[in-house]
């Protein structure tokens, strides 16, 4: 939060350069049709992609955000959480959309583009187009970034192309009344009974022959690696206890003062004005030494960092012997800042059998326990189902078995009190009262859901939510269909990236 741009200026500049020169990696990381090979930036539809092409398309991504074109960004995959992936999606999918629109004779007219621009809220005052806002946007936002008015117009034209393509591709999708009623089940109250099988009860029942451990080591030895670990020396700058209770601007000021102290300390090290110990003595700080930890911030050294190490570790692993000092690093709760010095590095290395044995033994034991759980769990469910058909209650049918039964009353998917309850409710949506689900995996082991009863649909509540559910279902169907079409169009484009 504080001094973020200053602290990460070099990284940010590097990212900006990369984003504006080169295309990023893939749209679908597992199934994308992007290939690598050849010379130049890349190829699409058999023609070369130039650096200028990529720069122009990447610029459109920024303009789309400035304009608030969320529908265009979403349709082109530009709203995923990973920004490099979002930019890659947006850049390449613009090319796909432009090509497909041209092949279908879709070309928005100038007056349509003008109307769409005038309709953007960012250019309106009291619901009407304000030409001064439009001109100010060009002057204050586009021109300083090297963008032109024509780029804005072309981007809005792409937005209209996408809207038309969306109607063509997904416009024929419908939603049936039965689909709406099925979706409404998420609001209907249910009484569930969950049959749970605890994996830990089975882990103690299994044994693993030593020869299986040896065999697994021989098979996996190339992937059994002890990760690189590091230890550091560090000092901590903390917001004074009496100032932690401050609120608003006073608290912000106190945090900023602490951040400034840490940054001044770090600057003195980065400029080689004094050693770490000398700087610490001058500032009256205690130098701490950590135990080793890995790149994820896991290890015996983690306990000394009040939960901050996973956040700090990626930066610490960028330190080198030539540049051993970090900048001021913010703690998780923003109440303290660290400045670190690289102390030692233990390189990664292959595990010996003895080092790998506990890990391999645990894997094999878990595999055996899971198999035993599922074998006995399936048999238990078969027994329970038979007893239910004979008129016994679920509690009675499950007695004497290695399972626990939990009852959850008056629950619904859209009002679940926990992620676990939501999962149970979701599975129950596909059951009729008196039915039991198949065995389902869980973190703790496995479970099955028995739907005891479901409250009948309330006609007035159903009528109230019907249109909303219909709109949601229609949007979901259209989105899936459009992205499936877009995936196929990308494959047909034979997109190849030849430089990274």
Q: How far apart are alpha carbons 104 and 427 in whole angstroms?
A: 43
Q: Is residue 177 situated within a structural domain?
A: no
Residues 261 and 371 in one domain: no
What tokens appear for 121 in the block? 């809220």
Q: Is residue 474 situated within a structural domain?
A: no
Going by C-beta distance under 8 Å and a sequence separation of 6 or more, which residues neighbour residue 315?
Answer: 326, 327, 329
Residues 99 and 12 in one domain: yes
317 exposure class (CB count in 10 Å sphere: 0-12, 13-18, 19+): middle
Residues 13 and 162 in one domain: yes
Predicted confidence at residue 416, as pLDDT, reads 86
Q: Is residue 490 situated within a structural domain?
A: yes
In terms of pTM, does the model score above 0.75?
no
Q: Is 168 left (phi over 0), alpha (psi -120 to 50) or beta?
A: alpha
Q: Which residues make beta-bridge pairs with 49?
A: 42
Q: Is residue 317 situated within a structural domain?
A: yes
- From the list 106, 272, 209, 192, the residue with the least C-alpha distance to 453 is 192
Residue 44: CB atoms within 10 A of its CB come to 19
Residues 330 and 433 in one domain: no
Q: How far apart are alpha carbons 152 and 146 in whole angstroms?
A: 12
The residue out of 328, 350, 372 marking a domain boundary is: 350
Q: Is residue 58 situated within a structural domain?
A: yes
Domain CATH number, residue 370? 3.10.50
Residues 151 and 290 in one domain: no
Q: Please count the helices (runs of H) and the strands (runs of E) in the chain.
A: 19, 16
Predicted confidence at residue 273, as pLDDT, reads 73
Distances (CA, A) of 208 to 212, 214, 257: 7, 11, 58
Residues 10 and 145 in one domain: yes
Q: How far apart are alpha carbons 108 and 166 in whole angstroms?
A: 14
The residue out of 305, 333, 350 marking a domain boundary is: 350
> Both ends of the chain: CA-CA distance in Å?
31
Domain count, the chain: 3
Predicted confidence at residue 51, as pLDDT, reads 81
Predicted confidence at residue 430, as pLDDT, reads 92
Sheet architecture: strand order including 496-497: 35-36, 496-497, 42-44, 47-49
Residues 332 and 447 in one domain: no
375 exposure class (CB count in 10 Å sphere: 0-12, 13-18, 19+): exposed
Could you tell me if 435 and 450 are in contact, meaning their C-beta atoms sit under 8 angstroms apart?
yes
Q: How far apart are alpha carbons 43 and 230 in whole angstroms?
A: 43
Q: Is residue 155 situated within a structural domain?
A: yes
The interaxial angle of helices 83-103 and 459-493, nearest 10 deg, is 80
Residues 24 and 146 in one domain: yes
Residues 490 and 387 in one domain: no
Residues 278 and 339 in one domain: yes
Could you tell me if 18 and 479 are in contact, meaning their C-beta atoms sit under 8 angstroms apart?
no
Return phi, psi of residue 457, to 5°.
-65, 135
Q: Is 257 left (phi over 0), alpha (psi -120 to 50) or beta?
A: alpha
Q: Which residues constitute the domain of residue 112?
A: 4-172+482-497
88 exposure class (CB count in 10 Å sphere: 0-12, 13-18, 19+): buried
Q: Which residues make beta-bridge pairs with 192?
A: 408, 451
Residues 373 and 342 in one domain: no
Q: Which long-range contacts (CB under 8 A, 24 or more apart) does 461-470 make?
A: 461/187, 462/181, 462/184, 465/184, 465/187, 466/180, 466/184, 469/180, 469/183, 469/184, 470/175, 470/180
Q: How far apart are alpha carbons 494 and 347 in whole angstroms?
A: 41
247 exposure class (CB count in 10 Å sphere: 0-12, 13-18, 19+): exposed
Q: Is residue 76 situated within a structural domain?
A: yes
Going by C-beta distance under 8 Å and a sequence separation of 6 or more, which residues neighbour residue 386?
Answer: none
Query: What distance lies between CA 391 and its chain's CA centroid?
Result: 47
The residue out of 300, 335, 350 marking a domain boundary is: 350
Q: Is residue 461 situated within a structural domain?
A: no
Per-residue pLDDT 10s for the chain (500 aa) are 333 333 333 333 333 333 333 333 333 333 333 344 444 578 899 888 888 888 888 888 888 988 889 999 999 998 887 878 888 889 999 999 999 999 999 999 999 999 999 999 999 999 999 999 999 999 988 888 788 899 899 999 999 999 999 999 988 889 998 999 888 989 999 999 999 999 999 998 999 999 999 999 999 998 999 999 999 999 999 998 888 777 788 888 989 999 999 999 999 888 777 899 999 998 899 999 999 999 999 988 787 888 899 999 999 999 999 999 999 999 988 889 999 999 999 999 999 999 999 999 999 999 999 999 999 999 999 999 999 999 999 999 999 888 999 999 999 998 888 999 999 999 999 999 999 999 999 999 999 999 999 999 889 999 999 999 999 999 999 999 999 999 999 999 998 877 55
Q: Which residues make beta-bridge pairs with 234?
A: 288, 340
Q: How far apart are alpha carbons 117 and 150 in whole angstroms?
A: 12
Q: Which residues make beta-bridge pairs with 226?
A: 349
Could you tell me if 366 and 203 are in contact, meaning their C-beta atoms sit under 8 angstroms apart?
yes
Residues 341 and 250 in one domain: yes
């Amino acid at each position: 939060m504080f001094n973020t741009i200053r602290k990460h200026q070099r990284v940010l500049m590097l990212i900006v350069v990369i984003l504006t020169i080169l295309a990023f990696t893939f749209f679908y990381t597992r199934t994308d049709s992007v290939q690598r090979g050849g010379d130049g930036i890349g190829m699409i539809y058999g023609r070369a992609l130039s650096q200028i092409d990529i720069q122009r398309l990447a610029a459109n991504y920024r303009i789309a955000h400035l304009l608030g074109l969320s529908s265009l960004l979403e349709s082109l995959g530009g709203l995923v959480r990973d920004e490099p992936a979002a930019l890659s999606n947006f850049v390449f999918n613009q090319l796909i959309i432009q090509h497909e629109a041209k092949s279908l004779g879709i070309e928005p007219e100038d007056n349509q583009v003008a109307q769409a621009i005038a309709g953007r809220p960012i250019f309106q005052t009291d619901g009407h187009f304000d030409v001064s806002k439009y001109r100010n946007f060009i002057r204050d936002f586009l021109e300083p970034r090297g963008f032109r008015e024509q780029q804005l117009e072309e981007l809005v034209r792409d937005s209209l192309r996408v809207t038309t393509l969306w109607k063509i591709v997904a416009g024929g999708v419908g939603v049936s009344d039965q689909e709406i009623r099925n979706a409404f089940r998420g609001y209907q109250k249910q009484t569930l009974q969950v049959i749970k099988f605890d994996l830990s009860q089975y882990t103690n029942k299994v044994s693993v022959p030593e020869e299986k451990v040896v065999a697994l080591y021989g098979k996996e030895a190339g992937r059994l690696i002890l990760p690189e670990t590091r230890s550091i020396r560090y000092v901590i700058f903390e917001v004074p206890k009496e100032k932690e209770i401050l609120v608003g601007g006073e608290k912000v000021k106190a945090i900023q003062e602490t951040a400034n102290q840490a940054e001044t300390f770090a600057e003195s090290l980065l400029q080689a004005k004094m050693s770490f110990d000398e700087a610490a003595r001058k500032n009256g700080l205690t130098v701490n030494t950590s135990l080793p930890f890995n790149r994820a911030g896991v290890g015996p050294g983690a306990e000394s960092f009040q939960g901050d190490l996973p956040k700090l570790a990626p930066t610490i692993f960028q330190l080198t012997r030539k540049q051993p000092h970090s900048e001021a690093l913010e703690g998780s709760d923003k109440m303290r800042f660290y400045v670190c010095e690289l102390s030692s590095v233990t390189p990664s290395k292959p595990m010996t059998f003895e080092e790998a044995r506990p890990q391999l033994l645990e894997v094999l034991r878990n595999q055996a326990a899971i198999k035993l759980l599922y074998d006995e769990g399936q048999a238990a469910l078969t027994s329970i189902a038979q007893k239910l058909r004979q008129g016994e209650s679920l509690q009675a049918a499950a007695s004497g078995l290695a399972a626990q039964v939990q009852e959850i009353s008056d629950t619904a998917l859209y009002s679940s009190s926990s992620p676990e309850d939501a999962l149970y409710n979701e599975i129950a949506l596909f059951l009729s009262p008196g039915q039991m689900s198949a065995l389902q995996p869980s973190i703790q082991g496995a479970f099955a859901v028995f739907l005891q009863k479901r409250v009948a649909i309330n006609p007035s509540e159903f009528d109230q939510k019907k249109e909303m559910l219909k709109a949601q279902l229609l949007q979901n169907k259209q989105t899936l269909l459009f992205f499936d079409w877009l995936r196929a169009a990308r494959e047909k484009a034979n997109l190849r990236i030849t430089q990274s």
